[in-house]
Amino acid sequence: MAQSIERRAGSKEFVEKKSKKEKRPSVEVNRDFCKGCGICVAFCPKEVLELDDHEKAVVKRLEKCNACTLCELRCPDMAIEVKVS
């Protein structure tokens, strides 16, 4: 989420602005590669991923994802891909 802060002349007020085109992350889990180790779940700071009934990683809260890519980097099976569009 790209943001900028502007300072008003002669004032100590700060105004926070969001960029016009906010980028949205997507997280893809290749269930054929996933062995259900749970490393991605443990490393995700936003609790986006969970293990399902078949012990495979699934995206449960995509709206919380900040595209840090910790899940992708830590997955030993290369089963996760984080994209920002």
Residue with more model confidence, 44 or 7: 44
- pLDDT for 8 beyond 60: no
pLDDT of residue 10: 54
> Domain spanning 22-84: which CATH class is it, in words?
alpha beta
Instruction: Judge whether 17 and 3 are in contact, CB under 8 Å.
Output: yes
Q: Which of 2-6, 7-11, 21-25, 41-45 has maximum average pLDDT?
A: 41-45
End-to-end CA separation in angstroms for the chain: 11
Q: Is the pLDDT of residue 40 over 80?
A: yes
What lies within 8 Å, CB to CB, of 64 at 6+ separation is: 46, 47, 48
Where in the chain are the domains?
22-84
Residue type, 70: L
Contacts of 67 (CB under 8 A, 6+ apart): 23, 25, 82, 84
Indicate whether 13 pLDDT > 80: no
Helix, strand, or coil here: 42? helix
Give the pLDDT confidence of 47-82 residue by residue, as tens digits.
999 999 999 999 999 999 999 999 999 999 999 999
